Amino acid sequence: MSDTVKGRSFFHLHLVSDSTGETLIAVSHAVTAQYQGITSIEHMYPLVRTRAQLDKAISEIETSPGIVLFTLVDQELTQVLDEACHALGMPCLSVLQPIMSLFQSYLGTASTPRPGAQHILNADYFRRIDALNFTLMHDDGMLPENYEDADVVLLGVSRSSKTPTSIYLANRGIKTANIPLVPNMPLPRSVTKLKAPLVVGLFASPERIVQIRENRLLSLNATPDSAYVDRLAVADEVAQSRKLFAQNGWPMIDVTRRSIEETAAAIIDLYKVHRQKRAAEAAS
C-alpha cells in the first residue's frame, strides 16, 4: 500500500538480483512509469548469491515494507525469499520465472541456472565495447576520415540528441558517429559520399531546441548567445538541416517528442533495412 507525504504518494520497491539488477530496473521503471503521481523508493540488492547476502536484504525489506521483485536462479535462495515475503505479508514476484516457464514449455527442455549469465564476456559483449569506443572517439564531428567505418552516422543541429542517441546505439553494438550542423560551416565532403554507413538526420521543433539550449547555457552559467537561442535563427537552422537531409536522400527523424530509446529504435529499424539492401547489392 502506498503512503502519502506532502501530497505525494510513494511506495517501497525492493529489487533483489543475483546479477547487476539491470533487468529489474528496466522492468520496474517500465511499469512504474504507468502510474502518475506515485513514486517508487527503490532499494537495490545486486549480486545476491549467498544466504548471508539474502538475509541482509530480507532484513531491510522487513524494515521498509513494499513490493519485492527478484531475479534469482538459485532455487534455495528463491524459496527462502518467497517464504520470508509470505511471512511478512508482502507481494513477491520472480520477474524471469514466467518467461522461463514459457521458454521451457515451447523448447521442451529446462534451463541451466547461471547467475549473471546475460553478462558473460562473449563475442557480443566485446562487439558492444568496440562500438562504444568507436562512438566516443567519433563524437561531435571528430575523426571524419573514419566515417566510412561507422555503422550509422547521425547529423543534426546543436541539441538534437545526437550524442545520447549515439551512446545508446553503441550499447546495442552499433558503431555510431555524429556530426553537428553548424550555421555557415560546410559538412566534410566525405559525408555526402559515404557508402557503407546509414546516414540519418535528426531534427526537433525550434521551440524544443531553444528550450534545451537555454537550459544548457544556464547549467554552464554561460552568457546567452542571441543567435544560439533566437527563435527565428534556430528555425532557420532546423529548416536548413531538413533541406540538407532531403537533398541527399537521408532518412530524417523528428525527435521533438521522442525519448532517446524511441529514436534509437527507429534508427535500428532503418539500419536493418539498410544492411539488407547492402547485402542484396553485394550478392547481385
Task: Identify the CATH assignment for 3-118 out of 1.10.10, 3.40.50, 3.30.70, 1.10.3470.
Answer: 3.40.50
Q: What is the pLDDT of residue 42?
A: 94
Q: Are 198 and 144 in contact (CB under 8 A)?
A: no
Least Cα distance to 116 among 20, 42, 208, 41 occurs for 20
pTM: 0.69
d(CA 264, CA 277): 20
158 annotated to bind ligand:
yes
pLDDT (tens place) for every residue of the chain, 284 residues total: 555 555 568 999 999 999 888 889 989 998 998 888 888 999 999 999 999 999 999 999 999 999 999 999 899 999 999 999 999 999 999 998 888 888 888 888 876 666 655 555 567 778 889 999 999 999 999 999 999 999 999 999 999 999 999 999 999 999 999 999 999 899 988 999 999 999 999 999 999 999 999 988 887 777 766 789 999 999 999 999 999 999 999 999 999 999 999 999 999 999 999 999 999 988 87
- Rounded CA-CA distance 68/244 in Å is 51
Q: How far is CA 210 from the centre of its chain?
A: 24
Residue 256 grid cell: 521533438
> Going by DSSP bridges, is the β-strand pair 8-17/3-5 parallel, antiparallel, or unpaired?
antiparallel
**156 appears as a binding residue in the annotation:** yes
* Cα(85)–Cα(87) distance, integer angstroms: 5
Whether 162 has a binding-site annotation, put simply, is: yes
- DSSP state letter for 88: H
CATH code of 123-283, in short, is 3.40.50
Assess whether the region 3-118 and the region 123-283 belong to the same CATH fold.
yes
Q: Does 161 carry a binding-site annotation? A: yes
Residue 101: the pLDDT is: 87
Measure the CA–CA gap between 95 and 77, rounded to whole angstroms: 15
Q: Looking at residue 113, what is its pLDDT? A: 64
Q: Could you state, in order of their start, the residue ranges of all structural domains in the chain?
A: 3-118, 123-283
Under a CB-based contact definition with an 8 Å cutoff, are residues 78 and 70 in contact?
yes
Q: Tell whether 160 is in a known binding site.
A: yes
Q: Please state, in angstroms and rounded to a whole number, the distance separating the CA atoms of residues 233 and 209.
A: 11
Q: Is 37 left (phi over 0), alpha (psi -120 to 50) or beta?
A: left
223 is known to lie in a ligand binding site: no
